[in-house]
């Protein structure tokens, strides 16, 4: 696995742990937009949705 894959895996774990893209982005030192784009890219590559998102919550 290349470095990008590890970063994306860390992102998934942080979002799952925090239950929030914003809190996970702060933990990882990224912007919320960068984190969201990384997860969207990973979801496209895998062909599955990793998180159920609403305006108020994020769940695996």
pTM of the model: 0.83
CATH class of the domain defined by 3-59: mainly alpha
Nearest to 57 by CA among 22, 29, 12, 31: 22
Is the pLDDT at 2 greater than 50, yes or no?
Answer: no
Q: What are 10-56's pLDDT values in tens digits?
A: 999 999 999 999 999 999 999 999 999 999 999 999 999 999 988 88
């Amino acid at each position: 696995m290349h470095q990008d894959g590890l970063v994306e895996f860390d992102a998934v774990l942080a979002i799952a742990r925090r239950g929030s893209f914003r809190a996970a982005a702060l933990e990882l030192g990224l912007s919320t937009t960068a984190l969201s784009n990384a997860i969207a890219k990973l979801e496209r590559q895998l062909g599955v949705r990793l998180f159920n998102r609403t305006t108020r919550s994020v769940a695996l």
